[in-house]
Amino acid sequence: MCDIIQKFPRVSVGRARMPRILIVDDEGSIRNLLAAAFEMAGFEVRTAPDGPEAMELCAAEPFDAVLSDVIMPRMNGHDLARWVAVHYPRTRLVLMSGFDTGCEVCAYAPRCQFLTKPFKPFEAVSAVRDALAAPLPSSPGADSPAGS
């Protein structure tokens, strides 16, 4: 964790609100490690073990970014990313996996950043910060209301 503090000092909060991130991974140890890294970097963090629980959290509270594993039981990260892109188009998406991404066939691929496993926690923080700083590309159906 020391490398996180050195490379990503805590965000100065002041009057600004902390960025909110939802971390989705079926492996508890990865969720916990990433949650600690993002908290140390000044993010407000929530976690979910799978896509359906992530969807419930997104419906209940706003997030600036969702960082999700791709390969998970019940719902994969691509399906979650598509759902988030449709229902919460301003939420930034970062997918992580050590396997084939499958992003090349997804109409929402321009909306997602991809992080290849294995990675260091500070690399995940950097990827999410980059996603938050980048202009948001348009998505298929971006002009239609959410849920239509």
Buried b (16+ CB within 10 A) or exposed e, 74-97: ebbbbbbbbbbbbebbebbbbbbb
Instruction: Say if residue 110 is preceded by a cis peptide, omega within 30 of 0.
Output: no
Mean pLDDT of 112-133: 93
Domain boundaries, the chain: 19-133
What's the pTM? Answer: 0.81
Summarize pLDDT for 4-15 with one digit per residue, the tens: 444 544 444 444
Q: Which two tokens stand for residue 117?
A: 């496993």
**CATH code assigned to 19-133:** 3.40.50.2300
Residue 45's nearest CA partner among 15, 11, 77 is 11
Summarize pLDDT for 68-94 with one digit per residue, the tens: 999 999 999 989 999 999 999 999 999
